[in-house]
Amino acid sequence: MEIKVSNNAITLWVGAIFVGLILGITGAITAHYFRYGIHLISIIFEKPQNLIQTFIIYNITLGLAVFLILWLKKVSKSKDWQGPADSIYSVHRIDNELDVKLGFFSTIAAFISAAGGASVGQYGPLVHLGATIGSWLKTKVSVNFSADVFIGAGIAAAISAGFGAPFAGIIFAHEAILRHFAFKALAPIAIASTIAFGTTQIFWPSEPFFEQTALSGAISLMVLVSCLIGPIFGFVAVIFMRSLLFFSSLPALLKLNPNYAAVIMVISLSLIGAFIPGVMGLGSTTLSSLLENNTLLATALLILIGKIIATSISLGFGFFGGVFSPALLIGAAAGAAVSQVLAISGIYVSSGPEIIICGMAAVTGAVIGAPISMTIIVLELTGSYELAMMSLTGIVTAIMFSHHYFGHSYFDKQLLLRNIDLSHGRSGLILMENSIQPLISNNFISVDSNSTVSHTIKLMASENTSEAYIKNRDGSFVGKVYLSSLVEIDPLKAILSCTDHNPISLNSDASLQQAIEVGSDFIGEAIPVLDRTSQKLQGVISESDIFKAYLDLQTQIIDLEHQD
C-alpha cells in the first residue's frame, strides 16, 4: 500500500521541531539564570543573625530594589507590570496581542524584587517570560502555527525547566493557559517542554526539590485524610488570594503616591524580615525545613501568617513577582500545621511529609487554577504514585471550596477586576469584546411623535416594513409601533396612543454578547439601538445580523484552535 506524505505534514513536523528547539533551549537558559541570579545576589547580601542588623540590611536591599523598580517603571513608561494573567488573556484573543517590550521589563522588575528580598515568587515571571519569548519568536519566523501555540510552548518550557517537570509543563500550558486542546499545538509544546528539561539536566543537573519514597500510612487512609483536610487548604488559599486583593487596593484607598507606598512597604517588610526571616524572598530554605515534618505548630502558623502578609504587602505596595512560590510555602506551612494538629489529636500520625506536600499542592492548585498540573508536578518530583493520588484528592476538595468562595483562580480574578471575564471561554470573551457598532443599520422608518396612524401606515407600506420607530423633534426615542396593531385603529388617531413605549432595545456601546442575550427574548424585525446618554435612536439591528456575526466569530475561533 502506498503511503503519501503531504508537504503540509512535513512542514508542520519541521516547524514543530524548530519552534520546540528554540523555545525549549531559550526557556531552559532564561529559567536557570533567572534563578541563579537571584540566588547569587542573596548570597552577596547574606543576612546576619542580629535583629537590628537584619532590619537595617533589609531596609538597604529592599530600598535599593524598590528604587530600581520605580526607575524602571519610569523608563518603560508602563502603568502596570504584566504576569500570567496577561499571558492567559493574550491567548484568548483572536489577535493574541501581547506587549513584548513590557513583558521583558516586567521580568526585570520581578528579578529585582526577588533579588532584593521581597516576598514574591519566581515561577509567575518565568511563565510570562516564556509567553513573551514565544510571542516575540512568532513575529520573527514564518511557521504555520498561531501565536497562542508559540506562547503555550514558551510557557511549557518555563515550567519544565523551573520545576524539572516536563509533563507538568505540557499539561500546565493546556490546562491553565490555553484552556483547550488541539493536536497541532501539542507537538511544539511537548517538544519545547522536553527540550527545556533535557537542556537543564545536561548543563545544570540538580536533585529533585523534594523526594519521598517511604510513606508512613496506607494509601486508602492517606486519601481519606486528604479528602477531609482539603477544604482547610482551600480556605487558606481563599484567605491568601483575598489578602492579595485587599492589600493591592490599599494604596489607592489611602491615596498614597508610589513613593510613600514604597517607604511604608520597605519598613513593614524589613520588620517582618527581622522577626520572621524565613518568610522573605523565595523561601526555598524554609520550604525545605518544613518538609522535614518536625516544625512546631506555633512556628508553622507563624510562617503561614507571616508569608501571607509579607507577600500581600510586597505585591500590593510596589514590588512585582509571582504568587506560585509563595503559595507553595503557604501550603507547606498549612500542611505542617494540620499535620501537627492531626498528630496531637491522634487522628493521623505522619512520620513523613505527605500532609505537607498535600498542602503545598492543594493551596497552589487552588491559587493558580491548575489541579492536574499540580498533581503531575508532585508525581514527577516525588516519583510516588501514592503521594500524587493523595495530593489530587486534596487539591480537588480544596478547589471545590476556593472556587465557591473566590473563583476559578487568582489570575481569573485579576482579569475579572479589569472587566475581562473568561468564565465562558474564548468565545464568551470575544463576544464581549466585539461591539455591535458595525452591525447597526440605518435602514428603518422613523416617524415624528405628532404624526397620525394613517400617515404612519402609508410610510410603512411604501417601505414594505412592519415596524416603525417614533421620535420626538429633538431626535429622542419615544417607542415603536407595529403594522399589525395599527390596521384596525382610527386612521386619524395620534400615533402616540398606539406606541409601545418600552420595546426591547440595545445601547449603542453594547457588546455582541449582550446583543445575543437581549435578542434571545426578541420577536420582530429589528431591535432599536439607542445612545446611552441622550437616548436618541442610532439605528437598528436585526436578529439575522447578530446570528451571522456570531457564526463568523465562532468560525474564527475554531480555525484558530483547530486549524491544520
Domains and their CATH numbers in the chain:
7-203 (1.10.3080.10), 219-419 (1.10.3080.10), 432-554 (3.10.580.10)
Task: Quickly count: other Cβ atoms within 10 Å of residue 309's Cβ.
Answer: 18
- Grid cell listed for 284: 526555598
Q: Return the residue matching grid coordinates 534563578.
A: 35
3 burial via Cβ count (<10 Å: 0-12, 13-18, 19+): exposed
Strands (E), 381-495: 446-448, 467-471, 477-482
Evaluate whether 41 touches 144 at the Cβ level (below 8 Å): no
pLDDT of 42 higher than 80: no
Quick: pLDDT tens for 322-359: 999 999 999 999 999 999 998 888 887 776 788 999 99
d(CA 23, CA 57): 38
What is the arithmetic mean of pLDDT over 7-31?
84
> CA distances (Å), 258 to each of 59, 66, 318, 447, in order?
17, 10, 7, 56
Q: Which residues contact 288 (CB under 8 A, 6 or more apart)?
A: 209, 210
Lowest mean pLDDT among 179-183, 212-216, 255-259, 521-525: 212-216
Task: Quickly count: other Cβ atoms within 10 Å of residue 395's Cβ.
Answer: 28
> CA distances (Å), 161 to each of 379, 486, 516, in order?
16, 73, 44
Q: What is the pLDDT of residue 154?
A: 93
pLDDT of 564 higher than 50: no
- Grid cell listed for 203: 548543563
Q: Which amino acid is at 256?
A: L
Q: What is the pLDDT of residue 95?
A: 67
- Grid cell listed for 180: 483547550
DSSP single-letter state for residue 506? E
Q: Which amino acid is at 487?
A: V
Nearest to 561 by CA among 214, 148, 230: 148
DSSP single-letter state for residue 279? G
Q: What is the pLDDT of residue 3?
A: 45
> What percentage of residues in the chain have a pLDDT greater than 90?
40
Q: What is the pLDDT of residue 215?
A: 61
What b-and-e string marks burial along 180-208, b requiring 16 or more CB atoms within 10 Å of the CB?
eebebbbbbbbbbbbbbbbbbeeeeeeee
Q: Which amino acid is at 63?
A: G
- Grid cell listed for 451: 404624526
Evaluate whether 460 touches 445 at the Cβ level (below 8 Å): yes
Find which of 233-247, 342-356, 418-432 is predicted with most confidence, using mean pLDDT.
233-247
C-alpha count within 13 angstroms, C-beta hemisphere, residue 166: 17
β-pair type (467-471, 446-448): parallel
Max Cα-Cα span within the chain: 96
Higher pLDDT, 143 or 151: 151
Q: What is the pLDDT of residue 385?
A: 85
Task: Quickly count: other Cβ atoms within 10 Å of residue 398's Cβ.
Answer: 32
pLDDT of 530 higher than 80: yes
Evaluate whether 359 touches 336 at the Cβ level (below 8 Å): yes
Helix axes 183-203, 7-44, angle to 10 degrees: 40
> CA distances (Å), 420 to each of 16, 88, 447, 497, in order?
31, 11, 40, 44
Higher pLDDT, 378 or 561: 378
The alpha-carbon radius of gyration of the chain (Å, integer) is: 29
DSSP single-letter state for residue 500? B
Evaluate whether 190 touches 173 at the Cβ level (below 8 Å): no
C-alpha count within 13 angstroms, C-beta hemisphere, residue 112: 21
Nearest to 138 by CA among 149, 125, 127, 126: 149
d(CA 136, CA 139): 5
How much is the mean pLDDT over the chain?
86
Query: Which residues on adjacent β-strands are paired with residue 477?
Result: 471
